[in-house]
Amino acid sequence: MRYFPIFVDLDGHDVLIVGGGEKALQKLRLLAKSTARIRLVAPQFDAGIRELAHAPAVTLIERSFAPSDLHGAVLIFAAADDVAVNSQVALEAKAQGIPHNVVDGPAESTFIMPAIVDRDPVVVAIGTEGSAPVLAREIKAKIEAWLPANFGRVAEGAMALRRRVHEALSDPVARRRVWGALLHGAWRASVLHGETAAAECELERQLAAARSGAERTGSVALIGCGPGDPDLLTLKAQQRLQEADVLVVDRLVNPAILEYARRDAQRIDAGKEPEGPSAAQDEINRILVREALKGQRVARLKGGDAFVFGRAAEEMAAVRAAGIPVEVIPGITAAHACAAGIGLPLTLRQKVRQFAVVTGASADGAFDLDWAALAKPGQGFAIYMGVRSAAHFRDKLIAAGAGPQTAVVIVENGSLASERVIATELGHLGRAIESMEVKGPAIIFVGLDWAAAGLSPPERLERYEPAPASGAKEFERRLAPQS
């Protein structure tokens, strides 16, 4: 992050704009929304600037720029139509150590202007470090559509209540909970609709509930966080993350997802290695119960979906046994995300009539899967946690009648920038994992391929195929995609 975003207090401070044309007018329009005192210097001013200059905070100085104009200014905008003048302003400002922005001159500037969504007092600033202003505009349009035009009322209303809530509730946890209920519930809706009496009623109701301790019991939300890409989080998962007081985080949860949580939420790392000791699970159960009994809203963050090889049942049972409410928020499981990311259908009309998910992990090394069923034509399946046991799957499936040519697709780090996609055949499965150095996490799809669906594989596909043995030593080839 080269440009660090901050909000500067301009209340009653002097800001200088050098320029009298369209560029200066754009800056003036923006700054006129602030409570700064604005000085403009230029030999002449456009009509638009003269119109805005009626405001008492705006002063026009009709002459050429002089270095003494910088005196007392906390920010400077060089917005003249003459680039030489702008460079002179930048040099003087630099010499005096005053932050300055040169219109269309990021190299001469010490700060750049973000795209702004203004819902005063809520202001959203969007920056791309100048790399892609079009992207900033797109993001701005999305945020503008999402934030109602009168959204500022909610923030103003909250500001007006701060003291009252503080005085009514001494416990910070209770206060946080009331704020959550007000800002996400009926109070906010009433404020946005201008229904003052209803908002007041709701406030009283929430304060009374908090005082009586009715909301003291904590809760646990088991949140499926998807395969890694934060864009695959559900809206409900985002909401629960924002509300949580405590985050209990799994190994496979992308740290970028934690950005959706409150910064002051307590974070507990519950990383478990695959096939790790079950004591780790008991410890996690204990943490969930302990934190919820303190009255905290606990978010248990799990990779993919909590109900798919996520040991959610054990955590739910432990939490319920302690009388704590538990909610499960579904997530996108790795197989679904990986398949979607590479355009590989999981079922195919008249060809793949069944799709299963199976695990390649086993605490005691014994797999009691129905190999005959998995080996049948028309059966597709995804192996989770199968990197280490891939060769075992190959042997068992082939022994149960599956063809060695059965299609296999391996997706490692699905949905992340480091994603790899490898195609091979069942007969080469173990060697492919080894030779292509698949370390996981990975999903291994068996019995599914693009050709059967009349689709082409993604361009980034790698293929693994051992070359026919030449002499004693076998070697492998990595082939380009065959589209």
* Strand partners for 42: 62
* Shortest separation between residue 230's beta carbon and ligand SAM, angstroms: 12
250 catalytically annotated: yes
Whole-angstrom Cα distance, residue 78 to residue 115? 18
Q: Which of 78, 329, 443, 461 binds ligand SAM (CB under 6 A)?
A: 443
Helix (H) or strand (E) holding 358, with range, is strand 354-359
Residue 109 or 333 with smaller CB distance to ligand SAM: 333
Contact of 241 with 260, CB cutoff 8 Å: yes
Establish if 464 lies at the interface with ligand SAM (CB under 6 A). Answer: no
Q: Which of 20, 180, 227, 427 binds ligand SAM (CB under 6 A)?
A: 227
Residue 14 or 412 with smaller CB distance to ligand SAM: 412
Q: Which of 127, 218, 441, 447 binds ligand SAM (CB under 6 A)?
A: 441
Establish if 389 lies at the interface with ligand SAM (CB under 6 A). Answer: no
Establish if 415 lies at the interface with ligand SAM (CB under 6 A). Answer: yes
Rounded to 5°, the CA angle 269-274-277 comes to: 80
Q: Choose among 151, 101, 162: nearest CA to 130.
A: 101
Residue type, 439: K
Residue 102 or 308 with smaller CB distance to ligand SAM: 308
Residue 266 or 413 with smaller CB distance to ligand SAM: 413
- Annotated catalytic residue within 272, 351, 376, 396: 272
Contact of 125 with 114, CB cutoff 8 Å: yes
Q: Which stretch binds ligand SAM (CB under 6 A): 52-60, 187-195, 279-287, 308-316?
A: 308-316
Phi, psi of 386 (to 5 degrees): -105, 5
Establish if 393 lies at the interface with ligand SAM (CB under 6 A). Answer: no
Q: How many residues bind ligand SAM (CB under 6 A)?
A: 24
Residue 210 or 385 with smaller CB distance to ligand SAM: 385
Establish if 180 lies at the interface with ligand SAM (CB under 6 A). Answer: no
DSSP of 63-132 = S---GGGGTTEEEEEE--S-HHHHHHHHHHHHHHT--EEETT-GGG-S--PPEEEEETTEEEEE--TTS-
Whole-angstrom Cα distance, residue 185 to residue 93? 48
Whole-angstrom Cα distance, residue 416 to residue 250? 17
Residue 310 or 345 with smaller CB distance to ligand SAM: 310
Whole-angstrom Cα distance, residue 12 to residue 199? 34
Residue type, 244: A
In the window 334-353, what residues touch ligand SAM (CB under 6 A)?
A: 334, 338
* Shortest separation between residue 357's beta carbon and ligand SAM, angstroms: 8
Whole-angstrom Cα distance, residue 217 to residue 213? 8
Residue 178 or 436 with smaller CB distance to ligand SAM: 436
229 catalytically annotated: no
Q: Which of 440, 458, 466, 481 binds ligand SAM (CB under 6 A)?
A: 440
Closest residue to ligand SAM, based on beta-carbon distance? 304
Residues 6+ apart with CB under 8 A from 400: 371, 372, 374, 375
Provide the token pair at 404: 């060695």
Whole-angstrom Cα distance, residue 308 to residue 358? 10
Establish if 319 lies at the interface with ligand SAM (CB under 6 A). Answer: no
Q: Which stretch binds ligand SAM (CB under 6 A): 288-296, 393-401, 413-421, 429-437?
A: 413-421
Q: How many CA within 13 A on the CB side of residue 342?
A: 31
Number of Cβ within 10 Å of residue 5's Cβ equals 10
* Shortest separation between residue 79's beta carbon and ligand SAM, angstroms: 48
**Which strands make up the sheet holding 379-384, listed edge to edge?**
354-359, 379-384, 442-446, 407-412, 420-425, 462-466, 476-479
- Annotated catalytic residue within 14, 69, 245, 250: 250
Burial class (CB in 10 A: 0-12, 13-18, 19+), 106: middle
Chain position carrying tokens 């978010």? 299
Residue 310 or 380 with smaller CB distance to ligand SAM: 310
Q: Which of 218, 414, 427, 457 binds ligand SAM (CB under 6 A)?
A: 414
Whole-angstrom Cα distance, residue 357 to residue 379? 11
- Residue window 56-95: x/- pattern of binding to ligand SAM, with contact defined by CB under 6 A: ----------------------------------------
Establish if 385 lies at the interface with ligand SAM (CB under 6 A). Answer: yes
Establish if 228 lies at the interface with ligand SAM (CB under 6 A). Answer: yes
Residue type, 18: V
Q: Which of 24, 252, 328, 461 binds ligand SAM (CB under 6 A)?
A: 252
In the window 128-147, what residues touch ligand SAM (CB under 6 A)?
A: none
* Shortest separation between residue 399's beta carbon and ligand SAM, angstroms: 23
Q: Which stretch binds ligand SAM (CB under 6 A): 31-39, 305-313, 388-396, 471-479?
A: 305-313
* Shortest separation between residue 226's beta carbon and ligand SAM, angstroms: 8
Residue type, 280: A
Where in the sequence numbering do the catalytic residues fall?
A: 250, 272
Residues found near ligand SAM in the complex (CB under 6 A): 227-228, 252, 302-305, 308-310, 333-334, 338, 384-385, 411, 413-416, 440-443
